[in-house]
Structure 1
Amino acid sequence: MNLKQRTFLLVTGASRGIGREFAHQLSGQIKAKGSVVALLGRNQALLEEAKTQILNSEPNLAVHTYSLELSTARTEDFTKILETARGGNGDFERAIVIHNAGTVGDTSKRAKEIGDTLFLQQYYHINVFSAIALNCEFMRLFQGIPKLVVNLSTLAAIAPISSMAHYCTVKAAREMYFRVLATEEAAPETLVLNYAPGVIDTQMTVQVQREAHDPAIVAMFREQREGKTMLTPAQTTARFIQVLEAQKFKSGDHVDYRDETY
């Protein structure tokens, strides 16, 4: 995993939290002249802050920001973003996409209560359909060079968690898509990683703690936050880079922050 090559890096959900930290730390690893970093998110002002943070550390990188609402995003939106960010540079030695963007859903409802099909359509569009559409365009536009495809996964993708029926189902669907991708595409040209970053002190876990219907889940998140045992975005990103550098995982693997095997 040579991150010193001329690299195209796209990070979704890059305006805050884990996505912003991934973009920042990975940019510090990508130093080759001609490398490009593309930041995709909802909040343009926060994306510009993330861009400035990167350029303060790595002034020679080309950094682009793109604001997009994933609930209505279409394939042609992703095509335009990728083509614009890539520009006329067809000389990349590696392309990386970090599928980080996502939402937790309504944790106040039990599984038997989430039957609103309009809400489900929008929720799945944000969390599953948009990631698949973006990935298809990424694979098409960067065919012929080594690609790293990273899906920000979670324990909720492989284990049921009370209060999180929305989140568990989209994360499971998304991870299975990337596992199929890994099965169909030959490594090392395409390397797929489902990375579960652990429980992070972010807006998402604050929302779960505030809204979850299950008192046990609320208590767990509160105790971890108050006890300062939740991970920071910087901690889990540093661990992610260690996983990449060691490269002990097989394409498509689910790797958790706490997995010592990797």
Structure 2
Amino acid sequence: MSAPLLSGKVFLLVTGASRGIGKQITESFATLLGNGSVVLLIARNENGLKETAQKLPKSLSVHTASMNLSVATADELKNVVRKALGSEGATQFEKAIIIHNAGSLGDVSKPTNDMKDLTTWRNYYDLNVFSPAILNGVFMEFFNEDTKVTRLVINITSLCGIQPSKSLAYYCTGKAAREMFFKVFALENPEVNVLNYSPGPVETDMQQVLRKNLGDADGKKMFNDFKASGSVLTTEQTVNRLIEILKLQNYKSGDHVDYYDK
């Protein structure tokens, strides 16, 4: 499967690339990139990043950065991107793609009335909302309009960003805030292609946590029923669907597109 947006000489940045959906996106997208493309992978797990990097085509220049995005400053992120760009800078590329995948569920055992710790809220939003906003600004500083590079921004969102679920207030509010940020970004930057992609129920560590620890009994049963009925998707399935969406381009920049959308 090919997609014009992924062809040619590309600068690709993926966060949360050490496992799960981020790892699969990296591996699947990398096979479509042109020779000489540069891939920058960011996550906390250094060993996981190395494992992902080793699976990529030798025709690509691959860089990894093990860092905690929730505390990374704009200057630190600039240094990481600048190093990956190399001496030729941003103008050497035909396309620039950033995929905001890194994120967390938060504590899924508590109802909203028990979520009273300010530090917990701040830490959650640092990683899931503030970090992608800052990184996106850094990325656009390098790949601004003057570079004449085609730009694609993908935010990995969730149905929970537009539909409330019991015991998932951290996750739902974080996804909603993050998605709205990228909708505003799309409105302000009509020359940038922006997609909020909801990958569906995918077999990842998050799904396992939901099946085991979700505080809402009905929700917990639903996620376990998904697993028992074989309805949980593989990472390959959801990433192939993402590539198909990018190929078809049947969305308006900034839209929320779900795996199951026609």
TM-score (normalizing by structure 1): 0.95
* Distance (Å, rounded) in 1 between the aligned partners of 2:173 and 2:5: 34
* Residues 46-195 of structure 1: pairs in structure 2 closer than 5 A: 46-54=48-56, 58-90=57-89, 91-144=92-145, 145-187=149-191, 190-195=192-197
Rounded to whole Å, the distance in 1 between the matches of 2:73 and 2:230 is: 40
Kindly state the Cα deviation for residue 2 of structure 1 after the two structures are TM-superposed: 3.5
Q: Which amino acid aligns with 1:26?
A: F
* DSSP 3-state at the match of 1:175: helix
Q: Return 5+ residue gaps in structure 2 as ranges.
A: none
**Residues 39-95 of structure 1, C-alpha deviation per residue, up to 9 Å, x if partnerless?**
1111100100000111xxx11111111101123211112111111111123311110
SS in 1 for 2:133: helix
**Residue equivalent to 1:222:** 224
Residue 35 of structure 2 corresponds to residue 33 of structure 1: yes
Q: Secondary structure at the match of 1:150?
A: strand
Give unpaired runs (5+ residues) of structure 1: none
Q: Quote the Cα distance in structure 1 between the aligned partners of 2:110 and 2:93.
A: 46
Q: How does 1:240-251 map to 2 (within 5 A)?
A: 240-251=242-253
For normalisation by structure 2, the TM-score amounts to: 0.95
Alpha-carbon distance in 2 for matches of 1:165, 1:221: 17
Q: Does the Cα contact within 8 Å between 2:100 and 2:132 map onto a contact in 1? A: yes
Paired with 1:89 and 1:254, the residues of 2 have a C-alpha distance of 35
| Aligned sequence identity (%) | 42
Structure 1 residue matching 2:39: 3-state secondary structure: strand
The 5 Å alignment of 1:16-31 reads 16-30=19-33
Distance across 1 between alignment mates of 2:70 and 2:137: 17
Matched pairs, number: 254
Q: Shift of the alpha carbon at 1:227? A: 2.1
Shift of 1:112: 1.6
